[in-house]
Structure 1
Amino acid sequence: MRVGLAKRDRSRSFGTYRTKVVGALAALLVLPIAAGLTTAGTAAAAPSPALTAPAATQNQGGATVGKVEWLSERRVALWINSPSMGIPIQVQILLARDWNVNPSATFPSVWMLDGLRATDIENGWTAETDAESFYADKNVNVILPVGGQSSFYSDWLEADNGVFYQWETFLTKELPSILENDWRTTQTRGVVGLSMGGTAAMSLAARNPGFFKFAASLSGILTTTSLGMPQAIQFAMNDAGKFNSAAMWGPPSNPQWAAHDPYTQADKLKGVSLYVSSGSGTTGPYDQPSGIPGVSTNYAGMGLEILARLTSQTFATKLNSLGIPAQINYRPSGTHSWPYWQFELHQLWPQLANALGTDVEKPACGASGAIAATAAANSWIGDCVTAEYSVAGGLAQDFRNGRIYWTSATGANPIAGRIAGEYMNTGAAAGPLGFPTTPELGTPDGQGRFNHFQNGSIYWTWWTGAHAVRGAILNEWAAQGYEGGPLKYPTAAEIATPGKAGNVQGFEIGAMYNSANGTYAVLGMIMGKYGELGWENGWLGFPKSNEVAIKDNGRFTEFDGGNIYWSPATGAWSVANGPIFDGWKSVGYEGGKLGYPLSDKFDIPGGTQQNFQFGWITVIDGKTEIHP
């Protein structure tokens, strides 16, 4: 079973809002189509010729990569500090099929643009479609910008809702050199967008001649300045994030509307291989029918697809008048929704591949030996997409849904999804974990997944993510029962403790520390008090014991400088080594006449004091007094 990014049930396209007004409008628009009053067909033209010269190298414009995180064996997320927008922008990349087989090769790219309801978590193409597995055998780097709700991927005139969108600058001036210099991406690019992204795909291609060799609009709004469209766009943007279109391009009379309109900019698309598709709005194979013939229950999606169809027809007519060839697909049914865009992604690939100069079909490959046996035993991993290749003294082979590693010492074992991503973050086979020694397995509680490696393990749950555990921390965690013990699952990577020699790793219920004292867990409210007092850099120092059970369901943990005690009745308080601790010890600790501590020590005139359940202890001028 592959551990991947969970699909979320959400509508993220151009204004897929559900209101009675839109629903009624959709029904009115669809009825003539259902009655056969309009026609649907497919107009095809040969793909346009390739550009004779590559685009000029783009200026990075000061953009820097602030963070890199691998999400799977061939999916990586970059957080790029954008000078134009003033915030980090996440861009995910699906790496080309031959990325590992041919480490010196460079690859063309496909940029996948999201819909109006784009989130800051994940691009809709990977959240809602099979794009990741579809592209697994394609020899292109797939670029997935994350975020940009209601932005139309354009440079806005003003800030709105606390953001100042400058997407066109980011995409065309700041991002390219990072992709080219660090991620082996060439200047041969294609762009595919759905809904808002379809509008932007055509607009960006027109506004930046030579930047894209291919542009596809799937259900895009391709005449943004025609009668009523600025108002429709404003309505949709307000519904998707409460954005104001005037902050984007000004009032409808502002020339910026025409400057971003694919229809008015169509003449600048000469030489770009174009693909345009839309449904009719009527009930299609991926829709749930309503009681009205031709009308699905996706009322908003029906009305929006009709708008996409009408504007796409107008745009296609303009292209034809300009003598610009395009592949135009008017589907006989279908609404404004993800299953249809996934279908179109598969349909447009041959044209896109030819425009980018890459192979349409994957080369023949096959698995053999132990890797073949492992692939057969783990059918979820899919078909091979590469031949075997060498890694760190062993072999690996990429499959559609994961990777299989082999050495003579470990045998062949598969790895995939977020566990594979964390493995990549640690350096994969060349890193400290070494090679996998097991396939992905389920934890006894049925909630997590894990792989064991030569020098550690990686554990995953949907709420904690995937994290490696190794060395002394793994040994102690195992001794305490792994995820079934008091710490539960890991929530962070092991890191060096700041200021003092040691290491620490976070878990659900606390942390595990490794220092010269040994390896010990600090849990729950004791952990909270430890943090309040400065962690290992405070006067307590490192832990010297695990949590110990004591009277009345209490607990304590020993540290270099003292102990922290907790009970259900009193909470967690520290007792420092020294005269107060010695005095409390002399009367029986928590089982004696003072009971549990009720405070940390605090200053009083001439000395210090600490309160307990049934009294207090003072140290004044070096003299300890117990007050029961």
Structure 2
Amino acid sequence: MTSIAVAGLLVGSALGVPTAYADPAAAAKTIATGFTAEDGSRITDVEYIDDRNIRLQVYSAAMAESFPVEIQLAADNSKPQPSLYLLNGAGGGVDGASWQAQSDVREFMADKNANLILPIGGMFSYYTDWIKDDPILGRNKWKTYLTEELPPLIDAALETNGVNAIAGISTSATTVLALPIAKPGLYKAAAAYSGCPQVSDPVGSRFMKLAVAWGGGNPDNMWGPAGSPDWVANDPYLQAEKLRGIDLYLSSGNGLPGEHDTLDGPHTPPGPGGLANQILVGGVIEAATNYCMHNLQTKLTSIGVPATYNFTSGTHSWGYWQDDLKQSWPVLARGMGVS
């Protein structure tokens, strides 16, 4: 996307933008709005939750639709700070399987000098650009949204320093490696937790197709039949050389029960059935991502691209992803220049 066109140096209610406060006196920073990109993408609404937390509505010109973005401002928001984009999994943050609902991410980031950006939407889309609209999942141009539309709007509204990192789980753990390749320089660090970045591999492509189909979508509407050029172009394993210079953190469990796979644990669905599902289904999924992540480790090592790895016991579940976010923070902070 080309540069942001300033529609007006206006803020808050002076724009006629509805605002809401849990405590109006607590709003310590008014977010600059009134910025419209040349393609028409724009912030259409801002809701002030408290002095640190804000919810935006962002119109995507590529998808002709508005999507929520939840933001927690940096601890010191009196000066420009970097931003950490944190992506949800297959549910896109719309369901209960989200960072907001399943982790302590807000508490963890409360003392960090980085803006926390939580995009919402894109269920079962893999946060990529689809070649066709889907009858069930609609129009998906998430790569455009997350590289061309949203970051410039966030930078303008929050007056950031323009430095970004990105992290994601499960399906979006593929995306957070693909987006820095698609837009060099946009994301300085990337952390991928329990994903399959080897998407052109028969195991990886099968994994992706099953995830899309689970959401009712037609996988061929994403990149065409497996093996088509777009599958190759969006494969972080095949494009691994383009990850050079990015601070990387890659993790996966081995699919076997670990410390967070306990009956009625804080990160386990309730009851014996919930635990069984996490161990059986979550174990199979994590074993597949473990295969992909180890293959990427081998590829990166062979071409001399450094990364931090964390391979442990465990299933495809939130306890491990919450741990991973904290363990990857030094890598993400280094990329963003946060001490």
**TM-score (norm: length of structure 1):** 0.45
Give the superposed CA RMSD: 2.1
2:11 corresponding residue in structure 1: none
1:177 corresponding residue in structure 2: 152
2:139 corresponding residue in structure 1: 164
Q: Which residue identity does 2:72 align to in structure 1?
A: L
Structure 1 position 232, deviation (Å) = 2.7
1:317 corresponding residue in structure 2: 298
Does 2:58 align with 1:83? no
C-alpha distance in structure 2 between counterparts of 1:60 and 1:169, whole Å: 14
Structure 1 position 357, deviation (Å) = 1.0
Q: Secondary structure at the match of 1:231?
A: helix
- Structure 1 residues 181, 296: closer, same or farther in 2, change over 3 A? closer
**Is the Cα contact below 8 Å between 1:60 and 1:174 reproduced in 2?**
no
1:337 corresponding residue in structure 2: 317
C-alpha distance in structure 2 between counterparts of 1:215 and 1:281, whole Å: 23
Q: Which residue identity does 1:157 align to in structure 2?
A: I
Larger relative contact order, structure 1 or 2 (CA cutoff 8 Å, min sep 6): 2
> Could you tell me which of 86, 91, 103 is aligned with 1:112?
86
Alignment of 1:39-78 (within 5 A): 61-78=39-56
Structure 1 position 125, deviation (Å) = 1.2
1:235 corresponding residue in structure 2: 210
**Is the Cα contact below 8 Å between 1:207 and 1:265 reproduced in 2?**
no
**Is the Cα contact below 8 Å between 2:69 and 2:117 reproduced in 1?**
yes
C-alpha distance in structure 1 between counterparts of 2:48 and 2:300, whole Å: 41
> Could you tell me which of 138, 142, 147 is aligned with 2:112?
138
> Could you tell me which of 181, 188, 197 is aligned with 1:213?
188
**Is the Cα contact below 8 Å between 1:60 and 1:175 reproduced in 2?**
no
Structure 1 position 73, deviation (Å) = 2.7
Alignment of 1:412-427 (within 5 A): none
Give the unaligned 5+ runs of structure 2: 1-21, 23-35, 264-270
1:347 corresponding residue in structure 2: 327
Q: Give a deviation string over 1:65-108, Cα, whole Å, max 9, x none.
A: 11111233311111111110000011111100012xx2xx1110
Q: Secondary structure at the match of 1:342?
A: helix
2:5 corresponding residue in structure 1: none
Does 2:173 align with 1:198? yes
Does 2:231 align with 1:250? no
Percent identity between the two aligned chains: 36
Q: Give a deviation string over 1:521-575, Cα, whole Å, max 9, x none.
A: xxxxxxxxxxxxxxxxxxxxxxxxxxxxxxxxxxxxxxxxxxxxxxxxxxxxxxx
Q: Give a deviation string over 1:142-189, Cα, whole Å, max 9, x none.
A: 111101111111111111115201011111111122112111222211
Q: Which residue identity does 2:334 align to in structure 1?
A: N
Q: Give a deviation string over 1:279-320, Cα, whole Å, max 9, x none.
A: 1111111103799xxx98531100111111110000111101
C-alpha distance in structure 2 between counterparts of 1:222 and 1:129, whole Å: 24
**Is the Cα contact below 8 Å between 1:288 and 1:298 reproduced in 2?**
no
Structure 1 position 122, deviation (Å) = 7.7
**Is the Cα contact below 8 Å between 1:283 and 1:296 reproduced in 2?**
no
C-alpha distance in structure 2 between counterparts of 1:209 and 1:111, whole Å: 16
**Is the Cα contact below 8 Å between 1:218 and 1:276 reproduced in 2?**
yes
2:16 corresponding residue in structure 1: none
C-alpha distance in structure 2 between counterparts of 1:66 and 1:255, whole Å: 36
Q: Which residue identity does 1:308 align to in structure 2?
A: T
Quick check: 164-173 or 221-230, which moved more?
A: 221-230
Higher helix share: 2
- Structure 1 residues 74, 82: closer, same or farther in 2, change over 3 A? same
C-alpha distance in structure 2 between counterparts of 1:163 and 1:95, whole Å: 31
- Structure 1 residues 121, 182: closer, same or farther in 2, change over 3 A? farther
Q: Which residue identity does 1:324 align to in structure 2?
A: V
Structure 1 position 206, deviation (Å) = 1.5
Q: Which residue identity does 1:326 align to in structure 2?
A: A
**Is the Cα contact below 8 Å between 1:191 and 1:212 reproduced in 2?**
yes
Alignment of 1:495-506 (within 5 A): none
Structure 1 position 243, deviation (Å) = 1.1
How many residue pairs were aligned? 294
> Could you tell me which of 53, 65, 70 is aligned with 1:92?
70
Structure 1 position 116, deviation (Å) = 0.9
Quick check: 120-129 or 339-348, which moved more?
A: 120-129
Q: Secondary structure at the match of 2:176?
A: helix
C-alpha distance in structure 1 between counterparts of 2:152 and 2:253, whole Å: 37
Structure 1 position 59, deviation (Å) = 6.0
Q: Which residue identity does 1:329 align to in structure 2?
A: N
Q: Secondary structure at the match of 1:154?
A: coil
1:282 corresponding residue in structure 2: 256
2:236 corresponding residue in structure 1: 262
> Could you tell me which of 247, 250, 261 is aligned with 1:273?
247
| CA radius of gyration, larger in | 1
1:298 corresponding residue in structure 2: 279
C-alpha distance in structure 2 between counterparts of 1:122 and 1:108, whole Å: 28
Which 4+ residue blocks in structure 1 deviate beyond 6 angstroms? none
**Is the Cα contact below 8 Å between 2:256 and 2:279 reproduced in 1?**
no
1:612 corresponding residue in structure 2: none
Q: Which residue identity does 1:338 align to in structure 2?
A: W
Q: Secondary structure at the match of 1:192?
A: strand
C-alpha distance in structure 1 between counterparts of 2:74 and 2:140, whole Å: 29
C-alpha distance in structure 1 between counterparts of 2:293 and 2:86, whole Å: 19
**Is the Cα contact below 8 Å between 1:90 and 1:145 reproduced in 2?**
yes
Q: Secondary structure at the match of 1:198?
A: helix
**TM-score (norm: length of structure 2):** 0.82
C-alpha distance in structure 2 between counterparts of 1:223 and 1:180, whole Å: 31
C-alpha distance in structure 2 between counterparts of 1:175 and 1:94, whole Å: 16
Q: Give a deviation string over 1:87-140, Cα, whole Å, max 9, x none.
A: 0011111100012xx2xx111010101101224368811111000111010000
Does 2:289 align with 1:308? yes
C-alpha distance in structure 2 between counterparts of 1:297 and 1:152, whole Å: 22
**Is the Cα contact below 8 Å between 1:121 and 1:147 reproduced in 2?**
no
1:222 corresponding residue in structure 2: 197
Alignment of 1:445-464 (within 5 A): none
C-alpha distance in structure 2 between counterparts of 1:338 and 1:122, whole Å: 12
**Is the Cα contact below 8 Å between 2:96 and 2:102 reproduced in 1?**
no
Structure 1 position 197, deviation (Å) = 1.2
Q: Give a deviation string over 1:232-286, Cα, whole Å, max 9, x none.
A: 32122211x2011111111112111111111011110110000001111111111
Give the unaligned 5+ runs of structure 1: 4-57, 360-628
C-alpha distance in structure 2 between counterparts of 1:121 and 1:281, whole Å: 24
- Structure 1 residues 198, 162: closer, same or farther in 2, change over 3 A? closer
Quick check: 133-142 or 173-182, which moved more?
A: 173-182
